[in-house]
Amino acid sequence: MTQARREFLKTAGIASLCIPFLGMSRGTKKEPIAFQEIVKPPALRNGDTIAITSPAGAVWDAKQIDLFCTILHNLGFKTKTGQTLREKYGYFAGTDEFRAGELNSFFSDKDVSAIFCMKGGWGCGRILPLLDYENIRKNPKILMGFSGITSLLIAILSKTGLVGFHGPVGNSGWNDFTLDYVKRVLIKKEKVLYTSTGKEEDKPLTLFGGKAKGMLIGGNLSVIAGMMGSDFLPTWKNKILFLEETGEEPYRIDRMLTQLKLCGVLDQISGFVFGKCVKCLAEEPEKAFTFQQVLQQQIIPLKIPAFYGAMIGHIENKFTIPLGIEAEIDSDKGTISLLEQVVS
């Protein structure tokens, strides 16, 4: 038995802590409903309360929680921290029932105006069947995160029509660039034009020229690939798909894009944006394609507007991108334009 396995078994007893949430999440859960229209959550206002949860990975550095709360307080918000921020169950922030129950409770809480995720990591996919989608639709709120939070954003949009936000998590770098987009999208209700930082290393690269319109859907590539075949996905026709990834070799990116291709996703979308692929280098480059070559092979034959290099992903300077909102991309300029307000 490995040390990791022994540690896991020792922490298994923490499952008993989820008892208060078990009855809530299972007792109120109803069959998911198919949404008929897009639901836009209310914009954030000064003095609103933001709940902070960790629906996937455990938070190992408690100082990050205090730092994030300070950032939000300085922006004029109150905070309500979830119990998941301090739970450890293997690599999760509590059992599946515990994490799902907390998210369900925050959507029900009338004092909470928005829900921000403390971190990503694997785990959200496991709680999708435990969420109360009817309750979420009746209590629309801003839900924001990225990476592993992708499955939550997509599933909730697919089941309820609620617009979600692919943006920074609590342990992200909340610098001026990132904060600016959070404010413009969630507070000021702007129809944002997303452009790069202007730095040479952030200059977008055109894969196939032109403009395309469609509803924005996307997030982490491996998370989306892992959802293929489930009933937590939207229809892909005429959508603009945006992706990001980190720590994956080019052949794995190739494999996951091929999975999307074989499932019919890439043949239906109207436009394609790949944000940043961080640390996506081959271990043996002389025997491999580069990440850019994989994109060229997979995306250019689609003959739809497509570009690489948007400020989306595991990077310090991040866009806050809404899922479920109509937008237009210009792949020659490397821009994304929102065509409507994203909050009410």
Q: Does domain 193-338 have CATH number 3.50.30.60?
A: yes
**pLDDT per residue as tens digits for the range 117-133:** 999 999 999 999 999 99
**pLDDT per residue as tens digits for the range 248-265:** 999 999 999 999 999 999
Q: Is 314 a catalytic residue?
A: yes
Same fold, 3-174 and 193-338: no
Contact in structure between 338 and 191 (CB atoms under 8 Å)? yes
Contact in structure between 241 and 218 (CB atoms under 8 Å)? yes
Q: Which of 54, 105, 147, 151 is labelled catalytic?
A: 147
The whole-angstrom separation of Cα 273 and Cα 240 is 8
For the chain, how many residues are written?
A: 344
Among 11-25, 101-115, 191-205, 324-338, whose mean pLDDT is lowest?
Answer: 11-25
* Phi, psi dihedrals of residue 260, rounded to the nearest 5°: -65, -35
Predicted local confidence at residue 329, as pLDDT: 98
Asked whether the predicted pLDDT for residue 28 surpasses 80, the reply is no
Average confidence (pLDDT) over 95-103: 98
Predicted local confidence at residue 111, as pLDDT: 98
The whole-angstrom separation of Cα 113 and Cα 107 is 9
**pLDDT per residue as tens digits for the range 221-249:** 999 999 999 999 999 999 999 999 999 99
More confident residue, 10 or 308: 308
Among 33-47, 71-85, 273-287, whose mean pLDDT is lowest?
Answer: 33-47
Contact in structure between 132 and 155 (CB atoms under 8 Å)? no
SS3 call for 153: helix
Domain segments of the chain: what residues?
Answer: 3-174, 193-338
- At residue 36 the predicted structure's pLDDT band, cuts being 50, 70 and 90, is low
Strand partners, 89: 92
Cα-Cα-Cα-Cα dihedral sign, residues 204, 167, 186, 100: positive
Q: Which of 158, 314, 328, 331 is labelled catalytic?
A: 314
Three-state secondary structure of 223-255? HHHHHCCCCCCCCCCCEEEEEEEECCCHHHHHH
Q: Is 244 a catalytic residue?
A: yes
CB atoms within 10 A of CB 202: 16
The whole-angstrom separation of Cα 227 and Cα 203 is 31
Q: What is the DSSP string of 17-63?
A: GGHHHHHHHHHH-------SS-BPPPPP-TT-EEEEE-SSB----HH
Asked whether the predicted pLDDT for residue 3 surpasses 80, the reply is no
Close Cβ partners of 38 (under 8 Å, ≥ 6 residues apart): 161, 163, 324, 325
Predicted local confidence at residue 33, as pLDDT: 55
DSSP 322: E
**pLDDT per residue as tens digits for the range 138-173:** 999 999 999 999 999 999 999 999 999 999 999 999
Q: Which of 244, 248, 249, 328 is labelled catalytic?
A: 244
CB atoms within 10 A of CB 9: 11
* The two structure tokens encoding residue 302: 């689609």
CB atoms within 10 A of CB 213: 15
Q: Is 147 a catalytic residue?
A: yes
Provide the whole-model pTM.
Answer: 0.89
Number of H helices, E strands in the chain: 11, 14
The whole-angstrom separation of Cα 165 and Cα 301 is 30
Return the CATH number of the domain spanning residue range 3-174: 3.40.50.10740
DSSP 318: -
Predicted local confidence at residue 119, as pLDDT: 96
Q: Residue 214 corresponds to which amino acid?
A: G
